[in-house]
Amino acid sequence: MDLLPPEAVRGEFAHSTTYLNTASCGVLPRAAVTEVRRLAEAAGAGIPAGFGDFDRVDRVREAFARLVGVAVDRVAVGSAVSTHVGLVSAALPAGSEVLCPEGDFASIINPFVVRDELKVRFAPLESLAEAVGPGTALVALSAVQSADGRTADLAAVRAATTAHGARMLVDASQAAGWLPFDASPYEYTVTAGYKWLLASRGVSYLTVSEEAQDTLTPLHAGWVALDSRWDTIYGPLRGLAHGARRFDESPAFLAYHAAEPSLALLERIGIGAVHAHDTALATRYRAGLTRLGHEPVAGGSPIVSVPGLAGRQSALIAAGIATAARAGHLRASFHLYNTEADVDRLLNVLEG
């Protein structure tokens, strides 16, 4: 399949603002909006097409597996990252040590913190690999930090966990969709589908290595987690699905119907091209900030945060520019529907 440059698909989006907030929520492509509308109208008409399509959910699962480089039987689908992380937390024996970066996103941390019998320890992101010790059972971290876009040295952390016999849980919510991300080296990964993957809330992915699948208990095993969905919908379960599908939640069909054309669009472009496009815009913005006398948090991701400028967000909203205020920073995030003109408009408003 011939790949398309990002600028060739810009017409697939219909946003009416200068939208620089993908790290909070991505923009739905027109095709995704069409699929949501079609399903909602069918549901409103009371016809079978409105029930939702499991075959479509499975195609979404397959597309995500291709995107992150794992076999499809390593992928479970659900609705929220915190639910997936909760499965991993519940599987740890009392007294287990979990190591997390300081200031990471709550959904990757809190499911461990609420278990008082676990030992949750924190270390700076930059020295996380050095903080792994012989007593560490699991390292849980985001590949890219939500607050400021810093990127973790996953290879160094993987080497440290391997050396000490620890498992690794990586949240790729701020990475998958712009960063070429390979989920295969890790026991567990979680990814929200409504940010860089351009779906809506209600789509979340869990990958579990073949070796680690026996470490988790499918605590919310409903009929969709069974080997034959339609033959075992009553009574006690009679056989969990093979592979990670045993950890499935019942899908939010509107969200998964949106996810299929969104993932197809990313595949038409190629993550390598998205990465080049997004990071080039971030580089332009960083250079402009420097000219204005501002110092953004160091990094090379398309998430750019500027300490002390969070108070400018309201003025930007009034100017029709969508950004975010996070941890006292003004955060802008650039994706395939953005242009150099968007970057320059943001800089012009910040200049006053």
6-28+270-351 maps to which CATH number? 3.90.1150.10
Residue 215, pLDDT score: 96
Fold of 44-267: Aspartate Aminotransferase; domain 2 (3.40.640)
Cα separation of the two ends of the chain: 46
Residue 233, pLDDT score: 81
Residue 58: DSSP 8-state: H
Domain locations along the chain: 6-28+270-351, 44-267
Token pair belonging to 157: 């952390």
Between the CA atoms of 202, 207, 228 and 50, what dihedral angle is there, to the nearest 10 degrees?
Answer: 20
With 0.85 as the threshold, say if the pTM is over it: yes
Nearest in space to 19 (alpha carbons), one of 195, 279, 172: 195
Token pair belonging to 32: 């995704």
Phi, psi of 176 (to 5 degrees): -60, 125
> How many Cβ atoms sit within 10 Å of the Cβ of residue 22?
28
Rounded to a whole number, what is the largest CA-CA distance in the chain?
67
Phi, psi of 60 (to 5 degrees): -65, -45
Q: What distance in Å separates the CA atoms of residue 133 and residue 147, rounded to the nearest whole number?
A: 27
Q: What is the pLDDT along the chain (352 residues), one digit of tens a residue?
A: 678 888 889 899 999 999 999 999 999 999 999 999 999 999 999 999 999 999 999 999 999 999 999 999 999 999 999 999 999 999 999 999 999 999 999 999 999 999 999 999 999 999 999 999 999 999 999 999 999 999 999 999 999 999 999 999 999 999 999 999 999 999 999 999 999 999 999 999 999 999 999 999 999 988 899 888 777 788 787 789 999 999 999 999 999 999 999 999 999 999 999 999 999 999 999 999 999 999 999 999 999 999 999 999 999 999 999 999 999 999 999 999 999 999 999 999 999 8
Token pair belonging to 227: 């080997």
Task: State CA 51 to chain mean position distance.
Answer: 26
Residue 1, pLDDT score: 60
What DSSP element (H or E) covers 314?
A: helix 313-318
Enumerate residues 6+ apart whose C-beta is below 8 A from 237. 221, 225, 226
